[in-house]
Structures are given as structure tokens and as C-alpha cells.
Amino acid sequence: MAPLLIKNGHVIDPASGHDGVADVLIEDGRITAVAGHLDKEGAELFDAKGLVVAPGFIDMHVHLREPGIEHSETIETGARAAAAGGFTSICCMPNTLPVNDNATVTSYIIERARQYAVVNVFPIGAITKNSAGEELAALGSMKNAGVVAISDDGRPVMNACVMRRAMQMAKSFDLPVIDHCEDLNLSAGGDMHEGVQSTRLGLRGIPASSEDVMVARDILLAESAGARFHVAHISSRHSIHMVQFAKKRGLPVTCEATPHHFALTDSDITSYDSSYKMKPPLRSECDVAAVFEGITSGAVDAIATDHAPHPGSEKMQEFEKCPFGIIGLETALGLSLEKLYHSGKIGLRRLVELFTTGPARILNLDRGTLAAGAPGDVTIFDTELTWTYDVNRSFSKSKNTPFDGWQFQGGPVATIVGGSVVWRRETP
């Protein structure tokens, strides 16, 4: 493979603090140099003038639906959508069929990804067998097979004692515990955030407290177990504040926010369109304000999409019948640039951090940096480019998104994995 030389881009590498125009050289799949003017004979050139050159983006929360639910997504299609969104690494949740609760399934996913995925795929293992919340899954052997974290995403562990034991074991295997924080009794039957809009629409509410009580429980359990605890898709005001508080006390507690939880509120659900139905639900304006505050203050460590493909046949139903979740890989950067950067809330360096060093640190990945020797994963994006998202041209097998037809200012331009350009925006 020929070396790749990315010329004249605005290099932002939060890990090293580099922030300025430079060239990046990738040889044999690894970064070998970042400097003012580089030349390399025989290298393939990528002109990045006017573009931002960042470490490859990591999405620590996606659903690839393989094995078992391939009509919604496959490792191949999900990885292509990730590449088109500027992601070079994705972490897939274990709620497949069968559930990724043992080393055999983990190895299967890793092998399929090696063959078919254009980006790096890191599996997340289940906390409990079949994610049933009762008996611990084979955490140690999954870790040896390659899982980077454990989670019963979507089917949260309701039994506090089981969660406590999971945290103790996770600590001993040095795995972070990711929880989809939702008290299933409080949220039972709910379809959207409990508030004025759910009352107006006559839809059953999911109170913010259903998230808050679990965040509180898990922080306390993690502290006593000494475990690393990560809140998936944080969405409520009190949860953000509790994570802030835990951090202040020096606990290894982290959290991620999804683009849809800061781009939309519950009042955007006006026409019973199931493209707006997900868990946690779109929250109120004051919750969204808290998510922004968490992003600017540092309480939020990462942006993750919770990319959750569902085929049209499942989403084109009465609101209360539709499954939860939306796809998000291809719109994450556009939404983040619009809502966080162009709005003046954060600078580019912080934005890049949320997609790179943030998730890499949580998951102990040797990625998210352009340091010499690091894997040659690079995300090149444009902060000004105007483009329109057309879901019918999505690489994902599913089309469930509220952002179809949205016009964005800024988005990914090229995605480089291990020194190879795996996706490049077609010039309009």
C-alpha cells in the first residue's frame, strides 16, 4: 500500500495539542509524521487545503443488527454508513440475535467485521446472559475475545444486586460498564418524554426521573465497586448534574450525548412521526440546555449516535406501536457542527475531542490521536460546506431519521482507515 500524504489541512489533534496547518503522513497503516511541510516519494496525495484534518472519529454507541437482524442493518452496511459520517471506528451494542453475551458471538462479529467492514468495529459485550438482567455473562472471556466494554443497552439491568456484581467483575477485568439508564417501571408504556407535549398529544410519558434514578443508583454502585461507569445517551438535566457531581468527586464516571438529544426537543414531535421516537426520548428545552451545558463544561465526554436502524415496515405504524430508535451515523457531524460549533458553544478542538480522545479514553483504545505510531485513522471535514441529507442515498439499510432533507453547514469530506481512503464525499 502506497503511503498517504494529507497536505495543507488544518490539523486538530487534541491529544497532542496540535492545532494549525500541517501535513500528515501515513505509512503502512500508521501515522508516521505530522509537520509543516512533508514530502514523500511515491505517496498518494490528498489536498486538504481549507479542510480540518482530525484523528479518526469514534462512535462508541451503534447498533449493527448482525448477527440475526440483518434486514435492518449488517456490519457491512453499518460500517459504510459510519464511513460516510466520518467515523473510522464504531462500537456495536450486544442486542443482536443471539445476544453478544459470550466469546463465540464476539469472535463472530470481529471476524465478520474484518471481512466486510470498511471501518474498525469494536464489540461491546452484554452484562448479563441474553441481557435478561439475571445471570452475569461471560465477561472475562468476552474481554479476551475483544469486547471493549459491557452493556445491556436497551434492556437495562433492573436488579441493583446484579448490577453491583457486574460492576465488581467489570472492575477486575478492567472493562467500563455502560448503562442505558432507564427504570423500566417508571417508563413502562411510555412513548415520549413526559411533559406538556406528551399531555397535549395524548401519548404516554416517559418521565425524566426514570433516567435519573438509574444514573443515581449506578453512580453509587460504581463508587462502591470501584468500577468505571459510563452513562449512555444522557438526556436529562438531573442526570447531567449527577455526572458533574461524580466527576467533581473524582469518580471514574463518564457519559455520552447523542446529536438528536441536543438538536431536537419533545416539542418537535408534532405529527406523530415515529422518526422522532427513541429512548431516551427527546426531552424538554431545559434538559437540552443542560446537555449543552454538559458539553461545554466537560461533564459530557463523548458524542455518540445510538445509530438504531429499523426497517420502514416497523416505523410506518401508529406512534405507540413503533420501535424506539433512529439512525444517526451520517448526520452526527453535521448536527454537531451546526448546534455546537456554528452556534458558538464550543470550539473545533473541543468538538474533535468529543469524537476522538473522549471515547478513546473511556474505552482504552489506542486511537483518537495523530501521534506518530498511532493507527492511520483520519477524519477530514469541512466546517462550511453546504449539503443536504437525503436518506434515500444513505448507506444504512434503514431510513428511520428525522433529519431527512435537512441542510447542513459543514460535514465530513473523507474518511481514512489504516491509511486507506474508505469514503470520500462526491463533489456536487
Binding residue count for another protein, defined by CB under 8 A? 21
Angle 30-36-42 from CA coordinates, rounded to 5°? 50
Beta bridge partners of 382: 411
Q: What is the 3-state secondary structure (H, E, C) of 380-409?
A: EEEEEEEEECCHHHCCCCCCCCCCCCCEEE
Q: Which of 94, 176, 195, 309 binds another protein (CB under 8 A)?
A: 195
Q: Which is nearer to another protein, 39 or 273 (CB)?
A: 273
Residue 282 three-state SS: coil
Based on CB atoms, which residue is closest to another protein, 134 or 273? 273
Rounded (5°) CA angle 390-59-97: 90
CB of 112 to another protein, least distance (A): 32
Contact 401, 327 (CB under 8 A): yes
Q: How far is the CB of 233 from another protein (least distance, A)?
A: 24
Q: Which 198-227 positions form the footprint of another protein (CB under 8 A)?
A: 198-204
The reply to whether 401 sits near another protein by the rule CB under 8 A is no
Q: Which of 115, 271, 392, 427 binds another protein (CB under 8 A)?
A: 271
- Options 13, 301, 306, 377, the catalytic residue: 306
- What is the spatial distance between Cα 186 and Cα 172, in angstroms, rounded to a whole number? 32
The answer to whether residue 212 is catalytic is no
* Contact stretch for another protein (CB under 8 A) within 41-49, 83-91, 254-262, 270-278: 270-278
Residue 114 interacting with another protein (CB under 8 A): no
**What minimum distance in Å lies between the beta carbon of 309 and another protein?**
19
Query: Shortest approach of another protein to residue 320 CB, angstroms?
Result: 5
User: According to CB under 8 A, which one of 144, 172, 296, 317 is a site residue for another protein?
Assistant: 317
Q: Which stretch binds another protein (CB under 8 A): 91-99, 240-248, 267-275, 346-354?
A: 267-275
Q: Is residue 313 involved in binding another protein (CB under 8 A)? A: yes
Identify which of residues 169 and 288 has a Cβ nearer to another protein in the complex.
288
Q: Which of 273, 285, 366, 384 binds another protein (CB under 8 A)?
A: 273
**31 class by beta-carbon count within 10 Å (0-12 exposed, 13-18 middle, 19+ buried):** buried
When the beta carbons of 198 and 244 are compared against another protein, the nearer one is: 198
**Contact in structure between 56 and 352 (CB atoms under 8 Å):** no
- Alpha carbon separation from 379 to 7, 337, 375, 420, 424 (Å, rounded): 14, 14, 12, 11, 10
Cell 505530522 -> residue: 34
The CA distance from 179 to 188, in Å, is: 18
Cβ neighbors of 205 (< 8 A, separation 6 or more) are 190, 191, 192, 193, 194, 195, 198, 199
CB of 270 to another protein, least distance (A): 9
Query: Least CB distance from residue 266 to another protein, whole Å?
Result: 11
H helix intervals, 146-208: 160-172, 184-187, 196-201
Of 188, 226, 347, 388, the residue at the interface with another protein (CB under 8 A) is 188
Pairing label, strands 57-62, 420-424:
unpaired
Q: Write out the residues near another protein by the rule CB under 8 A.
A: 188-189, 195-196, 198-204, 271-273, 313, 316-321
Active site residues: 306
